[in-house]
Amino acid sequence: MGYWKDSERYQGVILAGGAYILWGIFPIYWKLLQAVPALEILAHRIIWSVVFLWLLMAFNGQIKSFIAEINKLLHNPAALIGILATGLILNINWGTFIWAVNHDYIIQTSLGYYINPLVSVLLGMLFLKEQLSLWQLIAFLLASAGVLSLTVQYGSFPWVAITLALSFGLYGLLKKTLNMNSLMGLTLETMLTSIFAMAYIIYLSAAGVGSFNPAFTRISWLLCGAGVVTAVPLLLFGAGALRLPLFVIGFLQYISPSMTLLLGIFIYKEPFSHGHLISFSIIWIALIIFTLAKTRAGCRLEEKILRNKELV
């Protein structure tokens, strides 16, 4: 119990937990925009995220340091390409999620974020030469069996889930190679991709088929709000992650796909048979094994750090 007496950790759980709750109810927001094509929603999400993030940096007094960061990047084309790549991959993830929600694949989106931690471990093994422990290998094989079972249940490959898991895993992998403040990094990623988003919105407007109305109808306000609902949970998560060890984040991360799964089943009435339940159960068992293995490792690491601090 002493572990949780630290007020910093209480705050961390509230902040990070709040972020995951907001991510879990995201489908409700995108469903309100179901009449708008997914690509157009994505374009507005990118543009209004940039606007909100710039306002936030201005509020925090970070504009000068951000401009200095841009000047450095102009002399480092490799880093600039890396940031553009992370932005494009993140937008693939965002666009896939929006499309899936508005085409009744909410349950598949939850599957994607359930298996994402395991995909991240696999990517780490392939690209960063990280070693899989025995329990991680067992968890990965079990999850693979669950996904295979779901493929049989759906009668087709669950490409939505795999695209979400792979894109977010690759995004995390690339972010590891970029040493940058999270707010500035996200702002740069969205700024670079906003060039394409703005060109697309201008094209839609010129063709007279855009959904945004300058008179600010309900749809227009919702499109503007996409930037806020994108940035707020990311900021909550960033603040929470600073206060928590990784193994606690490991437990909290399953709040979001669990809420999304429940929304898909009970609110939006997507098909969920006994066969789906069995497949998801296999994946849940894999995640329990995976998370407990990480928790033990995390606890051992934290105990070691605390012992070292006491020695100092």
What ranges do the domains of the chain cover? 2-311
Question: Helices 77-102 and 182-207, interaxial angle, to 10°?
Answer: 60
pTM for the full model?
A: 0.89
Output phi, psi for 271, to 5 deg.
Answer: -60, 130
Helices (H) and strands (E) in the chain, counts: 13, 0
Taking 3-state DSSP, the helix, strand and coil percentages for the chain, each rounded to the nearest 5, stand at 85, 0, 15
Is the CB of residue 298 less than 8 Å from the CB of residue 249? no
Low-confidence winner among 30-39, 73-82, 294-303 (lowest mean pLDDT): 294-303
Tell me 131's DSSP state: P
Query: According to the model, what pLDDT value does residue 305 have?
Result: 45
Question: Helices 106-127 and 134-154, interaxial angle, to 10°?
Answer: 140
Listed in sequence order, the residues at least 6 apart from 79 whose beta carbon sits closer than 8 Å to its beta carbon are 73, 178
pLDDT band at 1 (very low <50, low <70, confident <90, very high): very low
pLDDT digits (tens, 9 = 90+) for 207-261: 999 999 888 899 999 999 999 999 899 888 878 887 887 667 878 889 999 999 9
Query: According to the model, what pLDDT value does residue 183 have?
Result: 79
pLDDT band at 128 (very low <50, low <70, confident <90, very high): confident
Query: According to the model, what pLDDT value does residue 311 have?
Result: 36
Instruction: For residues 170 and 126, give the distance between their C-alpha atoms in angstroms, rounded to a whole number.
Output: 11
The amino acid at residue 148 is: L
Query: According to the model, what pLDDT value does residue 27 have?
Result: 97
Instruction: For residues 173 and 93, give the distance between their C-alpha atoms in angstroms, rounded to a whole number.
Output: 14
Name the average pLDDT for the chain: 87
Is the CB of residue 96 less than 8 Å from the CB of residue 163? yes
Query: According to the model, what pLDDT value does residue 117 have?
Result: 86
Closest CA to 106 of 49, 24, 50, 12: 24
